[in-house]
Amino acid sequence: MKIKSAFFLFIFGVMLAGSLAPALQAQMAGPEGIYGFTVKTIDDENKSLAEYKGKVFLIVNTASKCGFTPQYRTLEQLYETYKDRGLEILAFPANNFRDQEPGSNAEIKNFCFLNYKTTFPLFSKISVKGADIHPLYAYLTTQSGFNGDISWNFNKFLVAPDGEIVARFASNVDPMSPEIVNTVEKNLP
């Protein structure tokens, strides 16, 4: 009986630790906040978000087979308009919603370039919700001041030059909408 109880406690502990892992990982950003994260590029290279200090950047979870996929075009338009003034677009492909991003990193990269001529940074495919949520998205959805689960592809977070997350936009808010453009312009260095 003691073995069964010990086994049950062990399994419960593993399950509890697994469910807390994303929140604990999000806290690992520490006092650096958003700049404390290192992510993988679409080409599988490490990239510290600290490299974006002093810039405004828009973090977007993307997908290639979504009704919002044409936003890649307006994300590129926003990027081209403001990149020389300090704007970056950081696109994180994710397959969390109806398998709308099934491709490999190489397939995603090719799709974005061939169909939308994207030049802004693309990152490796990650999970933006659930038990396997990436630590960056655990942070964004629990500690950014704009908390709440990612509702669909193309949710957007705007980060000011000092690392403060200053806005969150729903999927249906186009990157070239006055709402996003005005917020970007207000925060440019």
Residues labelled catalytic: 66
Beta strands in 131-181 (DSSP E): 156-159, 165-169
Residue pair 165/158 in contact (Cβ under 8 Å)? The answer is yes
Cα dihedral 65, 82, 148, 30 sign? positive
Strands 56-62 and 87-93: parallel
Separation between Cα atoms, residue 34 and residue 22, nearest integer Å: 15
DSSP letter (8 states) at residue 129: S
The size of the chain, in residues, is 189
Structure tokens at 120: 């802004």
